[in-house]
């Protein structure tokens, strides 16, 4: 009798452990996406939300990141370097104008709350897209105006948005913004991340 009791208890314990393991796997898939899924996933209550990425270069990445962090629907940002030919560049490498990288902000957003079109409106508004390899006092190819698209749909929307801006008559010079496929994003050094927030800066892009 005792033998059968021990066996029953052991079976119950194994069943409970198996149930907990299944729940944990389901939670991980909800948080990080199923195997092979390229888009990150967040969980809002009972609803899994597929997030998307957008990458923009619009001059000094400190101020650009600060602007996008204010947008409702943007869930994360990171500053870094993209569009160059040197692997794993440092800030000093990029500033040497020998790597070909642009300072960029990679935006992770919830498309149910903010559209890619709306992010482009922010992009056009926060910099001068007619300047070539500079933004104001910041001069160099790392400050170029560029949109790195992550899908064919993003490319179409970006090109239509650029054409609409050109046709609007709002600008006195042609739009110099390049639209290119997304390349490797090299995350910048940690002291660059959320630079404005760390230093209590509310405007401008003073380098130090």
Instruction: List, for residues 79-97, the tens digit of each pLDDT value.
Output: 999 999 999 999 999 999 9
- What pLDDT, on a 0 to 100 scale, did the predictor assign at position 139? 96
Number of Cα atoms under 13 Å in the Cβ half of residue 191: 4
| Pair (72, 165) in one structural domain | yes
- Indicate if 60 belongs to the active site: yes
The one catalytic residue in 54, 58, 59, 60 is 60
| Pair (27, 129) in one structural domain | no
Are 80 and 186 in contact by the 8 Å Cβ rule? The answer is yes
Classify residue 131: in a domain, yes or no: yes
| Pair (116, 158) in one structural domain | yes
Are 58 and 123 in contact by the 8 Å Cβ rule? The answer is yes
Domain total for the chain?
A: 2
Classify residue 43: in a domain, yes or no: no
Q: Is the pLDDT of residue 38 over 60?
A: no
- The CATH code of the domain that includes 95 is 3.30.1060.10
The residue segments making up the domain with residue 184 are 51-199
| Pair (66, 148) in one structural domain | yes
Which tens digit of pLDDT belongs to each residue from 150-189? Answer: 999 999 999 999 999 999 999 999 999 999 999 999 999 9
């Amino acid at each position: 009798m005792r033998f059968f009791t021990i066996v029953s208890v052991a079976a119950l314990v194994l069943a409970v452990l198996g149930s907990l393991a299944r729940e944990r796997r389901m939670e991980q898939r909800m948080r990080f996406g199923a195997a092979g899924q390229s888009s990150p996933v967040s969980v809002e209550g009972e609803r899994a939300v597929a997030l998307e990425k957008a990458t923009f270069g619009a001059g000094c990445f400190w101020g650009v990141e600060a602007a996008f962090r204010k947008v409702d629907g943007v869930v994360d940002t990171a500053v870094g370097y993209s569009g160059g030919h040197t692997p794993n560049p440092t800030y000093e490498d990029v500033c040497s104008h020998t790597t070909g990288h642009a300072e960029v902000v990679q935006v992770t957003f919830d498309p149910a709350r903010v559209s890619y079109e709306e992010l482009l409106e922010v992009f056009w508004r926060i910099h001068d897209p007619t300047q070539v390899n500079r933004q104001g006092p910041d001069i160099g190819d790392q400050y170029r105006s560029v949109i790195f698209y992550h899908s064919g749909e993003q490319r179409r929307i970006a090109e239509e948005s650029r054409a609409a801006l050109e046709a609007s008559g709002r600008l006195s010079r042609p739009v110099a913004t390049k639209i290119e496929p997304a390349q490797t994003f090299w995350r910048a050094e940690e002291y660059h991340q959320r630079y404005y927030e760390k230093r209590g800066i509310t405007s401008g892009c003073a380098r130090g």
